[in-house]
Amino acid sequence: MAMISTYLTPSSQLSGPKSSTAASPPLFSGLRRSSASLSTTQSFFHSVNSHTLRSSSSSNRTSRGIVAMAGSGKFFVGGNWKCNGTKDSIKQLVSDLNSATLEPDVDVVVGPPFVYIDQVKNSLTDRIEIAAQNSWIGKGGAFTGEISAEQLKDIGCKWVILGHSERRHVIGEDDQFIGKKAAYALGQDLGVIACIGELLEEREAGKTFDVYAVPSWDNIVIAYEPVWAIGTGKVASPEQAQEVHVAVRDWLAKNVSPEVASKTRIIYGGSVNAGNSAELAKKEDIDGFLVGGASLKGADFATIINSVTAKKVAA
């Protein structure tokens, strides 16, 4: 079982939201793996020196120039509707999405609030799959207020978003808890959109991403969402996002397998909108987006989905 965890080693070289740079090489730590069974979250830390990553991978990729997609996975765009919407507004949004022209070579997923999943499932085109925004750590039963992975499958969900920063930092979920959820959901054949991403103070202290336990790399999309960029309008620059995405991909290559590194979609989230998605999409390790606010507007979400064309042009 491959595990990812939360700890990160401070560094001074990461670019902050205002693109500051410093001298010493950053250490990315916090990706860990374990041979433990699916039901445990035992793990050990594994440090990755991103200075090495940067010189061996990022800069080589930059010099290749014309390569716009380092991974082999299909472009993936998820809309995280969070706790937004009413029956009426969702009816309108679904209608806008149904009539939008979407590029064919993109996996598209939307995550409505639980109570509207059935409405969306019954009215949205099959072209777009549905994600839940959370799931319980195990089989259902006497767990008031929770929703099980089995129930999500029963209602037609293919995906679940786990580890979102709002669940971590507002609700207080920790790595172990999120790891259990991921393990259980994957075991039920749900795809997991696994969110990682640092707080502003963590970035300023040189930490870039936090990660948590996952049981297998099949069926996982990693969403890198720097917390300082979520819902703030402060999007990471394409370079800032690429820097972390390449570190995650290189970690996967070294610690899981080159095949998993290639096929795992690493998507960016945090103030993505119809105006900035094309520039971000051009970066070769950005395999798509997880979109909050802008996914509530059908036309804007369609533009973000169709930013895959910028990637193709860049290639």
Shortest distance in whole angstroms from residue 315 CB to ligand PGA = 25
Contact status, residue 196 vs residue 203, Cβ threshold 8 Å: no
The reply to whether 79 sits near ligand PGA by the rule CB under 6 A is no
- Number of residues binding to ligand PGA, judged by CB under 6 A: 13
Rounded-to-integer distance, Cα 74 and Cα 17, Å: 28
Residue 266 carries which side chain, given as an amino acid letter? I
Which of residues 185 and 261 has its CB atom nearest to ligand PGA in the complex?
185
Shortest distance in whole angstroms from residue 51 CB to ligand PGA = 29
Taking CB under 6 A as the criterion, the residue among 107, 129, 210, 225 binding ligand PGA is: 225
Shortest distance in whole angstroms from residue 308 CB to ligand PGA = 18
Which of residues 130 and 290 has its CB atom nearest to ligand PGA in the complex?
290
State the binding string over 266-305 for ligand PGA (x if CB under 6 A, else -).
---xxxx-----------------xxxxx-----------
Contact status, residue 240 vs residue 208, Cβ threshold 8 Å: no
Contact status, residue 87 vs residue 115, Cβ threshold 8 Å: no
Contact status, residue 70 vs residue 284, Cβ threshold 8 Å: yes
Exposure string of 222-240, with b = 16+ CB inside 10 Å and e = fewer, is bbbbbbbbbeeeebbbbeb
The reply to whether 213 sits near ligand PGA by the rule CB under 6 A is no
Shortest distance in whole angstroms from residue 304 CB to ligand PGA = 10
Shortest distance in whole angstroms from residue 235 CB to ligand PGA = 8
Which of residues 292 and 298 has its CB atom nearest to ligand PGA in the complex?
292
Residue number of the CB closest to ligand PGA reads: 292
Which of residues 48 and 120 has its CB atom nearest to ligand PGA in the complex?
120
E strands, the chain, where?
2-4, 27-33, 44-49, 75-80, 106-111, 128-132, 159-162, 191-196, 220-224, 266-269, 288-291
Contact status, residue 150 vs residue 185, Cβ threshold 8 Å: no
State the binding string over 36-75 for ligand PGA (x if CB under 6 A, else -).
----------------------------------------
In 3D space, the residue among 63, 52, 78 whose CA is nearest the CA of residue 193 turns out to be 78
DSSP codes joined into one string, 17-75: TT----SSPPEEEEEEE----TT----EEEEEEHHHHIIIIIHHHHHH-S---SS-SPE
Which of residues 94 and 227 has its CB atom nearest to ligand PGA in the complex?
227
**Exactly one of 166, 198, 202, 225 is catalytic; which is it?**
225
The reply to whether 197 sits near ligand PGA by the rule CB under 6 A is no
46 is catalytic: no
Q: How far is CA 154 from CA 115, 117, 125, 248, in A?
A: 14, 11, 18, 33
Shortest distance in whole angstroms from residue 232 CB to ligand PGA = 7
164 is catalytic: yes
Which of residues 225 and 285 has its CB atom nearest to ligand PGA in the complex?
225
**What is residue 199's three-state secondary structure?**
coil
- Please report, as ranges, the residues that interact with ligand PGA according to CB under 6 A: 80, 225, 230-231, 269-272, 290-294
Active site residues: 164, 225
